[in-house]
Chains A and B, each alone.
Chain A
Amino acid sequence: MAEMWLNMGPQHPMTHGLWNLRVKVDGETMTEAEPVIGYLHRGWEKITESRKYPQIIPMADRLCYGASMSWSHLYCLTIEDLMEVEVPDRAKWIRTIVLEAQRIGSHLMWLAALGTDLGSYTVFLYPVRERELFLDLMQNLCGARMTYNYPRIGGVRNDVPANFERDFTRVLNHFEKRLSDYEALCDQSTIFRMRMEDVGYLSAEKAKNLGVTGPNLRGSGVDYDVRRDDPYEMYDQVDWKVCVEKTCDAYARYRVKMDEMRESCNIIRQCIKKMKPGAIRVKPPRTAPKGKTGWAHVEDPRGEGFMYVIGNGDDRPYRLKVRSPIFVTVSAAPEMLVGYKVADVPAIMGSVDMCLGETDR
């Protein structure tokens, strides 16, 4: 049969975002794949060169809108490295709690998108319902549902509201029960397992070499998590474990994220107990010397996020470079796709948890 190139995108019912996946098919089997991105490129890094340091925090939220707290926090960490600012302890505890809550929210959105991709509307509706609970907690804390503008250079914007502990504990108790239900819903479904197991194989060696990070890397058996191996905030003072799976397929990546949601609940509970009263913010310097650099990397829900900044002598950055985890994972997509059928594309790309906002910047 003759081979032909198929365009899956930019308008497609797969819910990951705006990109074009060109696959070369021989019948139904894919022989080559080429992702085409750039439909969401707004030149984020160039725009930041004309904004002041605090003005970039809400812009960083909109880099990856599924995990916006993680990105504005990463930006604040980078500028704190540049300006050598020491963040007070209470701010670190609050940041850890909020980051883990954001991780749960992001993974729930991933699960909802995966459900839609596989054609299961049930697996869309349930996680969206639980995610609303976490968005309510965030709204009580900082007033917004999705793009929070909450971390500040030197701490966080405001202290926690009244009944913070009670609300969080209620939601976590409720959520952990529901999480078991959703795991059962997916794991005991023959169709789900058949579609996700043994597709999208990515060996550990290839994953490391191609720069894949985060749950995708841990689904291939590599035990690396920036939170444990290069700790930031209060992750080294909390007792938690890194979730690794060995089977290297889409099902392993799914399992890693489900386990991570449980670990996040565990981390949040410990942080709430260990948190002590104190200052939540210090005043950072307004400018940074020209040529001085700073960088930070974090464990974003999708992988290793990284930012590198060069100061300009005034209150704007000279250069702000962003490394997005999904940018690299999408470049590794052909490795995961070749040899499988076209109908497996939503399952494989859905297990990868793509967000095009951070890819294209």
Chain B
Amino acid sequence: MDLRLAPHAVAMSSSEFLSWSGEVMDQLMRYSGVKKAVDKLTAPIWSWAIRNATVPLHFGIACCALEMAAASGPRFDAERLGMIYRSSPRQTEVLLVNGWVTAKLRPDLRRLYEQMAEPRWVVAMGECAISGGPWYDSHNTVQGVDTFIPVDVYIPGCPPRPEAMIDGFMKLHKKINKEMKGTFLQD
């Protein structure tokens, strides 16, 4: 808090004054504990909102994609838990990788990941996305999607049942809940 500059406030230009007073208010909020209190009140609400809308990308690669589609069917109904698929990566929060990744796909998948806005998570579904699966010794597949994208939840299975996929998303909800990030005055 640079309050020593206060007497000179009348001599500042408008942009200087704005930036100085903004800094003063920012530091006041942080050091007096107001930010902490607001965060403590709002973080549970934000966390509830975010985790009930873990919108995945409309991206089916291989066999696990059929189980992903079955999970949206009437028997398993993943949509009641917030998994509504969107086609554009900019509108999604979760990148669900459900199949083997080949050398041809790798740069495109990385670009999709980078196009997603924060907060974003990556779920590796099925053995192929976790480690290369049955094709671990192929010349063209990548041994696990976590070699080039950071993964948050791994769902094992070949293919995992739709209930297992939904369980994986529930674990993602728990992970989001644990982060409990408040968003008053960016960190």
Write the residues of chain A forming the contact surface with B, with a CB cutoff of 8 angstroms.
10-13, 15, 17-18, 38-44, 46-47, 50, 58-59, 62, 65-66, 109, 112, 125, 128-129, 131-132, 135, 145-147, 356-357
Question: In the assembly, what is the distance between CA of A189 and CA of B21, in Å?
Answer: 65
Give chain B residues whose Cβ lies under 8 Å from the Cβ of A128: 69-70, 72-74
Task: Kindly name the residue among A17, A128, A356 whose own CB sees the greatest number of chain B CB atoms within 10 A.
Answer: A128
Please report which residues of chain B, range 102-133, place their CB below 8 angstroms from some CB of chain A when the two chains form the complex: 102, 104-105, 108, 112
Question: In the assembly, what is the distance between CA of A135 and CA of B99, in Å?
Answer: 21
Across the interface, A42 reaches (CB within 8 A) one of B60, B87, B141, namely B141
Question: In the assembly, what is the distance between CA of A40 and CA of B139, in Å?
Answer: 12
Check B74–A129 contact: CB distance below 8 A: yes
Write the residues of chain B forming the contact surface with A, with a CB cutoff of 8 angstroms.
57-63, 66-67, 69-70, 72-75, 87, 89, 99-100, 102, 104-105, 108, 112, 134-135, 137-141, 158-159, 161
Question: In the assembly, what is the distance between CA of A135 and CA of B108, in Å?
Answer: 34
State the Cβ distance, A357 to closest chain B Cβ, in Å.
6
Closest partner residue, chain B, to A127 (CB atom): B73
Check A147–B69 contact: CB distance below 8 A: no
Closest 7 interchain pairs by CB? A128-B73, A65-B63, A13-B87, A42-B135, A42-B138, A39-B105, A43-B138
Task: Kindly name the residue among B66, B72, B135, B161 whose own CB sees the greatest number of chain A CB atoms within 10 A.
Answer: B66
Question: In the assembly, what is the distance between CA of A302 and CA of B143, in Å?
Answer: 30
**6 intermolecular pairs with C-beta atoms under 8 Å apart:** A12-B87, A40-B62, A42-B141, A112-B69, A146-B159, A147-B159
Closest partner residue, chain B, to A36 (CB atom): B104
State the Cβ distance, B130 to closest chain A Cβ, in Å.
15
Question: In the assembly, what is the distance between CA of A223 and CA of B60, in Å?
Answer: 34
Give chain B residues whose Cβ lies under 8 Å from the Cβ of A62: 62-63, 134
Check B62–A11 contact: CB distance below 8 A: no
Give chain A residues whose Cβ lies under 8 Å from the Cβ of B112: 11
User: Do A47 and B104 form a contact, CB below 8 Å, given A15-B60, A65-B63, A357-B62?
Assistant: no
Contacts A39-B102, A356-B62 given; 14 further ones with Cβ under 8 A?
A10-B105, A10-B108, A18-B60, A38-B102, A38-B104, A40-B62, A42-B141, A46-B139, A50-B137, A65-B62, A65-B63, A65-B66, A128-B74, A131-B70
Closest partner residue, chain B, to A357 (CB atom): B62
Check A42–B140 contact: CB distance below 8 A: yes
User: Do A42 and B102 form a contact, CB below 8 Å, given A15-B69, A65-B66, A132-B73?
Assistant: yes
Give chain A residues whose Cβ lies under 8 Å from the Cβ of B61: 17-18, 40
Check B139–A43 contact: CB distance below 8 A: yes
Question: In the assembly, what is the distance between CA of A70 and CA of B29, in Å?
Answer: 66
Check A129–B75 contact: CB distance below 8 A: yes
Task: Kindly name the residue among A39, A112, A129, A356 whose own CB sees the greatest number of chain B CB atoms within 10 A.
Answer: A39
Closest partner residue, chain B, to A109 (CB atom): B66
Give chain B residues whose Cβ lies under 8 Å from the Cβ of A58: 134
Question: In the assembly, what is the distance between CA of A77 and CA of B108, in Å?
Answer: 38
Check A40–B134 contact: CB distance below 8 A: no
Question: In the assembly, what is the distance between CA of A131 and CA of B62, in Å?
Answer: 18
Check A43–B59 contact: CB distance below 8 A: no
Check A39–B73 contact: CB distance below 8 A: no
Check B89–A11 contact: CB distance below 8 A: yes
State the Cβ distance, B148 to closest chain A Cβ, in Å.
16
Task: Kindly name the residue among A13, A58, A59, A125 whose own CB sees the greatest number of chain B CB atoms within 10 A.
Answer: A13
Task: Kindly name the residue among A17, A42, A146, A356 whose own CB sees the greatest number of chain B CB atoms within 10 A.
Answer: A42
State the Cβ distance, B85 to closest chain A Cβ, in Å.
8
State the Cβ distance, A139 to closest chain B Cβ, in Å.
10
Closest partner residue, chain B, to A13 (CB atom): B87
Across the interface, B104 reaches (CB within 8 A) one of A39, A46, A135, A146, namely A39
Check B105–A47 contact: CB distance below 8 A: no
Give chain A residues whose Cβ lies under 8 Å from the Cβ of B108: 10-11, 39
User: Do A129 and B62 form a contact, CB below 8 Å, given A39-B104, A42-B138, A42-B140?
Assistant: no
Give chain A residues whose Cβ lies under 8 Å from the Cβ of B75: 129, 132
Task: Kindly name the residue among A58, A62, A135 whose own CB sees the greatest number of chain B CB atoms within 10 A.
Answer: A62
Give chain B residues whose Cβ lies under 8 Å from the Cβ of A47: 134-135, 137-138
Closest partner residue, chain A, to B61 (CB atom): A18
State the Cβ distance, B121 to closest chain A Cβ, in Å.
18
Question: In the assembly, what is the distance between CA of A129 and CA of B70, in Å?
Answer: 9
Closest partner residue, chain B, to A360 (CB atom): B102
State the Cβ distance, A46 to closest chain B Cβ, in Å.
7
User: Do A66 and B66 form a contact, CB below 8 Å, given A41-B140, A128-B74?
Assistant: yes
Give chain A residues whose Cβ lies under 8 Å from the Cβ of B58: 11-13
Question: In the assembly, what is the distance between CA of A135 and CA of B105, in Å?
Answer: 31
Check B63–A146 contact: CB distance below 8 A: yes
Give chain B residues whose Cβ lies under 8 Å from the Cβ of A40: 61-62, 99-100, 102, 105
Closest partner residue, chain B, to A68 (CB atom): B63
